[in-house]
Chains A and B, each alone.
Chain A
Amino acid sequence: MISLRVKKKVQNTFLFLFAFLSTIIAIIPLFSIIFEVIKNGIEAINLDFFIQLPGPLGESIGGIANAIQGTLILVTLASIIGVPIGVITGIYLYEYGKEKKSTLISFSVDLLYDLPSIVVGIFVYITVVSPMRSFSALAGALALAIVMIPIIAKTTEESLTLVPPTISEAGIALGIPKWKNIVFIVLNSAKNGVLNGIVLAVARITGETAPLIMTCLGSNFWFSGMDKPINSLTLLIWRYAMQPYPSAVKKAWGAAFLLLLVALALNLLVKSGGERK
């Protein structure tokens, strides 16, 4: 008996240590990234960093204001396109996704969800950039919207599924037409989950680089039109981090720090939203 208990205790301790160490190994890279980004990024932060154009490569003056502006424009525009389509797709999947004829659609959404974002970039390059003969803000926003749609569609569908069927039934029993019942009763009851999905999707596209390389190229100037190239934080990091000039690398660190803060803020927003529920 005693030996069995000792054996179990040893097993238990061993497994606990194993799980604990695995967790530590998993989060070491995360913390070292955060540490490095903060250490190097904070040095780059000053007022000019937020309000000046980058200036000539290699000069230590200037900031990344046009990249901040570009990211804001791209994310806003992508959300304007992607959020309604994503939410409506989610409603469709919830309402009709279980039916046989919709198998193809729900499968496609899953596929789109897992699609490497560089492929989305190539798709938009072929369909928009190439015919327009120009890299453009519009193309970038479209690419980001395509990345966004399946994320929002899936979270919307999941949130709707969590609403008890009795709620939908109660709405129907009040003589409310089907579509109004879905939007104003069921979707309304699921709105926290849907909003969380939207915030997560925004966080995801704010950090996307690959689709933008193929679509908006980047720029050293302010935003000058939807049909012109535009800069973004991720594009700036991608280009400047590879430069031999320390001042450019420093700006890239600063931009990375800023992105990290945005990601942190959005995730905290989702977390607090989740607790509100």
Chain B
Amino acid sequence: MKTKIEIRNLNVWFNKRQVIYDVNLKVPEQAITAVIGPSGCGKSTLLRAINRLHDLIPEAKVKGEVLLDGKDIYKEDPLVVRRKIGMVFQKPVPFPSMSIFENVAIGVKLNDLAKKERLEKIVERSLRMAALWEEVKDILESPATSLSVGQQQRLTIARTLALEPEVLLMDEPTSALDPVSMKKIEELIVNLKNDYTIVVVTHDMRQAARISDFTAFMYEGKIIEFNETSELFRNPKEEITEKYITGRIS
């Protein structure tokens, strides 16, 4: 399987505190890679390093390489990197003053990526891919905040997809949702892997087992183990991985 993202010797500090230690990881293309681990193990920090969100925080320092198709994203224009590598956050954050349509269109619009006439098509296509089109096609002009939380999360996924990214990063995308919405998003993620490389951070091991092809287990800022999901859950090589998946550490 082809590697889409390769992380080499990645270290991240906040001020003097090191959060990520020498992480190496090869994320396969068109597959779902789950990153699991206890709270505070650095999995979100790792994810945010992949689309250069740490650039915004003056206290954060990143060392090492993140290669997208062999090219280091830290040597490219961060704006282009973030368009290619989309991010979905834990809590759905629709832009509150905008309609459903505008929420999906805004990234394309502000990046001058498409003419007005094409916008409608892009919005429809993105909402269809996010499995939201049928629910919102008649209320596109309503405020995005009028949607349920689960719908809002699919809306933010559509918003990310509108930019036609190559990689989708998801930071605990279902932890703020009810079980029904969670199931919908999980199905959606599985459908999306035909077109995208997906990295999902989750603290829900069962979710990782349900949807992912590969799983990385992180502990105290290091990747302890990385393997095919079924293999990692069935035959963990490291003792600490086994302890975590059997619930003896959390």
Known contacts A174-B106, A189-B97; decide if A169 and B91 are in contact (CB<8 Å). no
Chain A positions 157 through 192: 1 when the CB is less than 8 Å from some CB of chain B, otherwise 0 = 000000010110111111111001100110011011
The CA-CA distance from A73 to B163 in the complex, in Å, is 46
Which residues 127-175 of A sit at the B interface, judged by CB distance below 8 A? Answer: 164, 166-167, 169-175
B53–A172 touching, CB < 8 Å: yes
| Residues from chain A with Cβ under 8 Å of B97 in the complex | 188-189, 191-192
| Residues from chain B with Cβ under 8 Å of A188 in the complex | 95, 97-98
Closest A residue by C-beta to B169: A173
| Residues from chain B with Cβ under 8 Å of A172 in the complex | 53, 56, 82
The CA-CA distance from A177 to B81 in the complex, in Å, is 12
Known contacts A166-B91, A169-B56; decide if A175 and B106 are in contact (CB<8 Å). no
Interface of chain A: mostly helix, strand, loop or mixed: helix
Known contacts A169-B53, A169-B89; decide if A176 and B107 are in contact (CB<8 Å). yes
Which residues 70-111 of B sit at the A interface, judged by CB distance below 8 A? Answer: 78-83, 86-87, 89, 91, 93, 95-98, 106-107, 110-111
Cβ contact of B79, chosen from A167, A175, A185, cutoff 8 A: A175
The CA-CA distance from A240 to B110 in the complex, in Å, is 54
Q: Does B43 contact A (CB under 8 A)?
A: no
Closest A residue by C-beta to B111: A175
Min Cβ gap B44→A in Å is: 12
Q: Does B156 contact A (CB under 8 A)?
A: yes
Cβ contact of B107, chosen from A166, A167, A169, A174, cutoff 8 A: A174
Closest B residue by C-beta to A167: B93
Closest B residue by C-beta to A187: B97
The CA-CA distance from A184 to B95 in the complex, in Å, is 10
Could you list 7 A-B pairs, sorted by A, with CB under 8 Å?
Answer: A170-B156, A172-B56, A172-B82, A173-B89, A174-B163, A189-B97, A191-B97
5 cross-chain pairs, A with B, having the tightest CB-CB distances, nearest first: A175-B83, A175-B82, A174-B107, A173-B87, A170-B93
Question: Knowing that A169-B93, A174-B107, A175-B78 are A-B contacts, what are 9 other residue pairs whose CB atoms are under 8 Å apart, sorted by A's residue number?
Answer: A167-B96, A173-B89, A174-B160, A174-B163, A175-B83, A175-B111, A176-B106, A184-B106, A188-B98
